[in-house]
Amino acid sequence: MALSYAIIGTGGIGGYYGGRLAHIGCDVHFLFHSDYEFVKQHGLQVDSVNGNILLPTPQAYHRTQDMPKCDVIFVSMKTVNNHLLKDMLMPILHEHSVVVLVQNGLGMEENLSHEIPHASIVGATAFICTTKVGPGLVHHAEYGTLTIAPYNECDINVLQQVVADFEKAAVSVNLGDDLLSIRWKKLVWNIPYNGLTVVLNAATNELTFNKDSRQIIIDLMTEVVEAGRCCGAKISDTFISKMIGMTEKMTPYSPSMRLDYEAKRPMEIETMYSNPIAIAKAHGYRMSKTEILEKQLRFIAATMY
């Protein structure tokens, strides 16, 4: 079967993965926000370490009401706009559509399942350094693996077809069955690095190689691992040193929250910090160090304009 895809939020993430699928001939429908007019005229370009892509005439839309119903819907917009998601999705959902949330943080699947109870929802994390650097222009610098796992009842055949399509597009996909662990493991990196690059105004390498900020990172990672385990996530004892080692080898990088901050866009504090803190608390664990970083970020967000 040939799946139809929608990309809701064509930025660094959506532009890269959707671009790869369209490049091999998949039926991909892209939702654009501010870049719509530009892309209609000039197309969508992905400059990638794995080979450049130019889609001269992508199926581009400015609102979901104009899009067809799709089999697989990748949501790659910022979670700060998730309150709009239900209304955006309704026009493009058919009875068996699968919604894949490629987003940062925790709690997004649960929120959406309350809003659209019949929807098949999948969570995904992208291990990738990719950024929208200009209108219709995505720059993919490093990595690219997508990890996906169902949140509720999903047609496994559809998910396997998604994996097959991505394989054909040279994108590595892990299809897992433990979304909780996937989300918490992503937070082990996201919580220290996203927040500290903003608060300390520094890139990932500076934070990793200075001994004091490195110690904060390790302390925060340890807290996230403990919190995740209290919530039922499976995270190995060596995971923290693996994350630090991986970051040491990374090209210096500004995580998404720092890019948002520098561009004076809203930061994903709610899903990346407040939700994990609240969920851990409900399981009896207080993330007291993460709370400090969360509140520092909220202060910065309140005074950044």
Question: What residue ranges bind its own copies (CB under 8 A)?
Answer: 199-200, 202, 206-207, 210, 212-213, 215-216, 219, 288-289, 291-296, 298-300, 302-303
CA–CA dist 107, 276 (Å, integer)? 8
166 versus 193: smaller Cβ distance to its own copies: 193
Of residues 169 and 198, the one with the C-beta less far from its own copies = 198
Q: For residue 174, is it left (φ>0), alpha (ψ between -120 and 50) or beta?
A: beta
User: Which residues are registered as beta bridge partners of 99?
Assistant: 73, 121
For residue 136, count other CB atoms closer than 10 A to its CB: 25
Shortest Cβ distance from residue 272 to its own copies (Å)? 15
CB of 244 to its own copies, least distance (A): 15
Measured distance between the N- and C-terminal CA atoms of the chain, rounded to whole angstroms: 49
Return the closest-CA partner of residue 30 out of 66, 78, 82, 54: 66
- Contact between 226 and 178 under an 8 Å Cβ cutoff? The reply is no
* Shortest Å distance, C-beta 186 to its own copies: 22
Active-site positions read 186
Location of structure tokens 């991505």: 166
The residue (of 102 and 297) whose beta carbon lies closer to its own copies is: 297
- Which of residues 64 and 290 has its CB atom nearest to its own copies in the complex? 290
Look at strands 44-48 and 137-150 and give their pairing: parallel
The one-letter amino acid code at 194 reads N
State whether residue 279 is helix, strand or coil: helix
Nearest-angstrom CA–CA distance, 130 and 209: 23
Judged by beta carbon, residue 116 or residue 304, the one nearer its own copies is: 304
Q: Compute CA distances 135 → 35, 78, 81, 213, 300, whole Å.
A: 5, 17, 20, 35, 27
- Which pair of tokens denotes residue 21? 């699928």
